[in-house]
């Protein structure tokens, strides 16, 4: 295991660059648009960059998961500010890895966005990290600091609630 100061700033930049499309896609689903998503993503990089200069930090076992965890925490912090509390309709997402959605998909995205608001935040967050962040269940468990079975059950319960909501 590397200590945080064993990870060079160049290594951080390399991992950040490789993970940026997934991080941005996730941030766009959490924030009110691509501008806020870009801002919080930049803050994530700067926070970790500054952390590498601090010699009294604990070890980082998995840098990509740590990036997601930091990003998720900063998104929550930004959204806690009353002036920033907004929802992002899925049809306006910035998805750097995919092509623009067609009209049918846009309607589906809108429905899913509304349904995600109706389920518990813990379940919605697992679904966002798994699907929109393109993380494995193990990675989601690492990001949220939860046991793997808890992550899987939240995902299943959340999907079941989404399915019931889509039938209505």
Q: What is the pLDDT of residues 127-162, one digit of tens each?
A: 989 988 889 999 999 999 999 999 999 999 998 888
Distance CA(22)–CA(145), nearest Å, equals 19
Residue-averaged pLDDT of the chain: 77
Q: Look at the pTM and tell me if it is higher than 0.75.
A: no
Instruction: Confirm whether 18 is domain-assigned.
Output: yes
Q: Domain limits at 52?
A: 1-88
Give the CA dihedral 16, 2, 68, 152, nearest 10 degrees: 140
Within a domain: 96:
no
Highest-confidence segment of 13-27, 93-107, 110-124? 13-27
Q: How sure is the predictor about 163, in pLDDT bands with cuts at 50, 70 and 90?
A: confident
CATH at 111: 1.10.10.10
pLDDT of residue 28: 80
**What is the pLDDT, as a whole number, of residue 50?**
82
Pair (2, 82) in one structural domain:
yes
């Amino acid at each position: 295991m590397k200590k945080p100061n064993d990870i060079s700033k160049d290594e951080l930049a390399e991992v950040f660059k490789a993970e940026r499309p997934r991080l941005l896609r996730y941030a766009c689903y959490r924030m009110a648009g691509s501008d806020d998503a870009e801002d919080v993503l930049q803050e994530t990089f700067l926070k970790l960059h500054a952390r590498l200069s601090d010699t009294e930090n604990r070890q980082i076992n998995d840098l990509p998961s740590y990036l997601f965890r930091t990003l998720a925490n900063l998104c929550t912090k930004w959204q806690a500010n009353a002036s920033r509390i907004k929802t992002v309709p899925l049809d306006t997402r910035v998805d750097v890895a995919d092509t623009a959605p067609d009209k049918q998909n846009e309607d589906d995205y809108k429905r899913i966005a509304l349904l995600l608001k109706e389920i518990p935040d813990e379940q919605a967050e697992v679904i966002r990290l798994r699907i929109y962040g393109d993380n494995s269940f193990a990675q989601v468990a690492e990001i949220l600091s939860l046991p793997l079975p808890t992550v899987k059950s939240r995902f299943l319960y959340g999907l079941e609630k989404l399915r019931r909501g889509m039938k209505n």
